[in-house]
Chains A and B, each alone.
Chain A
Amino acid sequence: QKEVEQNSGPLSVPEGAIASLNCTYSDRGSQSFFWYRQYSGKSPELIMFIYSNGDKEDGRFTAQLNKASQYVSLLIRDSQPSDSATYLCAVRRNNQGGKLIFGQGTELSVKP
């Protein structure tokens, strides 16, 4: 079992729709959870992170964390073609000095 698994893509949504990206992790010691966006040929850039169970909203993005289910998701409201990218889920155990374990990524395509 992979430490961090993401739903396989590509995921295609129409412009203006809600895109839902999912991620599960196997290590219950994981404390911090991150969503990165990676455009083709570019390096990952942080969208948001979440530590506590529940929802965290930042503009059109909402991260959801359920530690009991070992599940974290990212919702993108009012999806735009510029949101088309690969989204990487990453987890960290605070006692590992910042080491991130990444999932394989989910490719999102937003169609105009």
Chain B
Amino acid sequence: EAGVAQSPRYKIIEKRQSVAFWCNPISGHATLYWYQQILGQGPKLLIQFQNNGVVDDSQLPKDRFSAERLKGVDSTLKIQPAKLEDSAVYLCASRPTSGRASEQFFGPGTRLTVL
């Protein structure tokens, strides 16, 4: 079973620039999450999708962050414009709707550095 795929793995941008991250969840996983992990901290949920609908985006800074999951499969997370404090690893995770429903499977993450 292929895991969660993310790209790019690394990105360096200057503040006020825009950046986009892509995630392809495990096939058949209806629930998709985007987390932000700042160095030395645990992951923080930014947004959760169930199929192509948003379940929770309460901690998404909506003035600069946006996310979509068209067709309920792949997802993109965008930051525009980026700030220095956005430097973090952005983790995508997916979760099955049956079977090992308790487990979230994480992708390798995208490490963003904002200069």
Q: Please report A residues at the B interface, Cβ cutoff 8 Å.
A: 4, 32, 34, 42-46, 49, 88, 90, 96-105
Contacts and interface: CB of A to CB of B under 8 A. Distances in A.
A4 B107 CA distance: 23
Interface residues of B, number: 21
Contacts of A97: 31, 48, 50, 55-56
A105 B39 CA distance: 11
Interface of B: 31, 33, 40-45, 48, 50, 55-56, 91, 95, 102-104, 106-109
A96 B107 CA distance: 21
Most buried by B among A44, A45, A46: A44
B56 A96 contact: yes
B106 to A, nearest CB: 4
Contact of B42 (A45, A46, A103): A103
Contacts of A45: 106
Nearest to B43: A102
A20 B19 CA distance: 40
Contact of A49 (B40, B41, B95, B102): B102
A7 B104 CA distance: 24
Given A99-B45, A100-B45, A105-B40, 15 more contacts: A4-B42, A34-B102, A43-B107, A43-B108, A43-B109, A44-B106, A45-B106, A88-B42, A88-B43, A97-B56, A98-B31, A98-B95, A99-B55, A100-B43, A101-B45
A88 B91 CA distance: 14
Contacts of B103: 46, 49
